[in-house]
Structure 1
Amino acid sequence: MLKNSIILNNGAKMPLIGLGTWQVNEPLELRNAMNAAFESGYRHFDTAFLYKNENIVGKVIEEWIRKGLVKREELFITTKLPLAGVHPDRVEMFLNKSLHNLGLEYVDLYLVHFPVCVKYHETIDFPLNEAGELQAEPTDHIAVWKKMEEMVELGKTRSIGISNFNKNQIARILEKATIKPANLQIEAHLYLQNTELIEFCKKHGISVVAYSPLGSPAINIFHEKQGYPTKNLPKIMEDENVISIAKKHSKSPAQIMLRFLVQNGVAAIPKSVTPSRIKENIDIFNFELDKSDIALLKTLDKGEAGRVCDMNGFKLSNHPDFPFK
């Protein structure tokens, strides 16, 4: 039976299922979700500077450690460098901010959240110009990566990686890296399987974490808050093939979707604030999809047409560093 963790290229152990926390900003809601996750066996928690919830995540972690319910070394905590930090002069500043928010001396994984850099404003995460476009500025991915390597050497993070980078951007980093990326975080689910990029990462010893592994059914909440058009979302969990396989294994459609990923060696960070679903999402290590299940599920891939988090609201599609190209 599949183990519940994978070993990164630096020897660190990362649980295959973590709790995603994007769009969970209300303190009590996130506290309850994290407590439910801890009680269900989660030890992998994913946040980001841009999520505005690192302080809540840190407080819950501190409570569990203080009560002797968990040890720091048992946890795998990920946070991310924001767009304004994708500049060599700002990497350490933003990591220090995240460590302060989390109340931690180090994180287990620090990711460059996007390959795009925006102008730095103290109080504005997504500065826009008069045309409603992000105020992007040039960056140097190699120089940024060298600063990320320094963060490992300083002991502020155990591992470093990237998020939303494409194959060409990753290849450029690999050419110059002293410390190879340990992880790539990307959107991946049955309708966007990202097979080519995942296989590229496997070839180069880079682990992959899937965000929106259930198709991000709540993304329209984010779009409405940002003033972006809402989307017609794919109802993957209502797909008749997924439902059929779920019935076959006496599991839920969500569990089938997550099992498909982890059985391919891809970790996943499903976001939920419902205790029963949080428990359900990690209960996927007591069954196995067979070859016919896998073959059928692979046929559901829609490629780019299945992408949910397309970032089009940022109006950066012509930017040279924009992801997914």
Structure 2
Amino acid sequence: MTTDSLRFTRISTHASGAIPAVGFGTLIPDPLVTGQATKAALEAGFRHLDCAERYRNEEAVGDAVQEAFKAGTLQRRDLFVTTKLWNTNHRPDRVKPAFDASRRRLQVDDIDCYIIHTPFAFQPGDEQDPRDERGRVVYDRGVTLAETWGAMERLVDEGHCKSIGLSDITLEKLREIVAVARIRPAMVQVESHPYLPEWELVDFCREHGIVLQAFAALGHAMKPNLLADPVITSIAERLNKTPAQIALAWAVQRGTAFLTTSTNPRRIQENFDISTLPEDAMREMRDKITTNIRFNSVVETGVPGFIPRVG
């Protein structure tokens, strides 16, 4: 029996070779649980880990990765590590120190892709979520995204950063960066799922050798529930797969990468075990799913909607 290779898909970029399409996101509030989930993800077969300074758990991810290295079950060259520059570090002089701090916490020499977490600059400083007395975000008007991008490009020049990218970005803003970039983004990470397919952005990325990576690929169990969609559930039933496996296979087959996060080892394994959908199922998903919804307003505010407040 031949194993379906969809889960091992790698997508070529103009920059750092190929990016594993199937990614594990580490947006997990508890560092101890983060470590266990990362370990389970590596054991399941995930070879792309998505991290961020903002998640405050890079050390836990680094520990899990080091454990796999020491056990001999994983080699650094087989793993693609992405992490992100937080909004308070957009000023060019803050970019390299933030990058080096992430490398140190993750315990790796090189980062495969370093991403600007959102296109919004917040007031620089140690407070990750700066607010004024009325509770509104304090933005930093003294820096442009293009200036931050220039500092990201210099990281690539210096050698420990293999490629750079953007997250939570609109097509319009992405066009602006691509127009001025000396080093183009290798990857952009945006909310995308069958209820928000972002076809125009997918086409633009393909044209420019940029990988589009979908976060919230399963809609984060928010209402309306993507995994209860009748088109998806009927395909899942027909193919003897779960609705989640259908939505994730759809993401890879249309040429995008995805991120999925879970702390449940059985669900982590299920999210990795995707296989190729027949053409008629892909067509059905394109033609018959009519719901269109964005679950996360971060593209308008720079404030991620899924990060639990740590009180």
Shift of residue 16 of structure 1?
1.0
In structure 2, C-alpha distance between the alignment counterparts of 1:111 and 1:58, rounded to whole Å: 18
Q: RMSD of the TM alignment (CA)?
A: 1.8
**Equivalent position amino acid for 1:309 in 2:** N
1:272 aligns with 2:277: no
1:296 aligns with 2:284: yes
Residue matched to 2:60: 56
1:309 aligns with 2:296: yes
1:133 aligns with 2:99: no
1:104 aligns with 2:108: yes
Q: What aligned pairs does 1:212-291 form with structure 2 within 5 A after superposition?
A: 212-217=216-221, 233-285=223-275, 288-291=276-279
In structure 2, C-alpha distance between the alignment counterparts of 1:153 and 1:102, rounded to whole Å: 21
Structure 2 runs not aligned, ≥5 long: 304-311
TM-score, structure 2 normalization: 0.90
Residue matched to 2:307: none
**Equivalent position amino acid for 2:198 in 1:** N
**Equivalent position amino acid for 1:270 in 2:** T
TM-score, structure 1 normalization: 0.87
Shift of residue 168 of structure 1?
2.0
Aligned identity (percent) is: 33
Name whichever of 244-253 and 90-99 sits farther off: 90-99
Contact 1:134 1:315 in 2 (8 A): no
Shift of residue 314 of structure 1?
5.1
Contact 1:242 1:253 in 2 (8 A): yes
Q: Deviations over 1:120-163 (max 9, x none)?
A: 222x2111112321100122122111111111111221110100
Shift of residue 194 of structure 1?
1.0
In structure 2, C-alpha distance between the alignment counterparts of 1:109 and 1:315, rounded to whole Å: 20
Contact 2:169 2:299 in 1 (8 A): no
Name whichever of 135-144 and 265-274 sits farther off: 135-144
In structure 2, C-alpha distance between the alignment counterparts of 1:155 and 1:259, rounded to whole Å: 34
The DSSP-based 3-state class of the residue aligned with 2:93 is coil
Q: Deviations over 1:226-256 (max 9, x none)?
A: xxxxxx6221111111110001111000000
Structure 1 runs not aligned, ≥5 long: 218-231, 317-325
1:80 aligns with 2:80: no
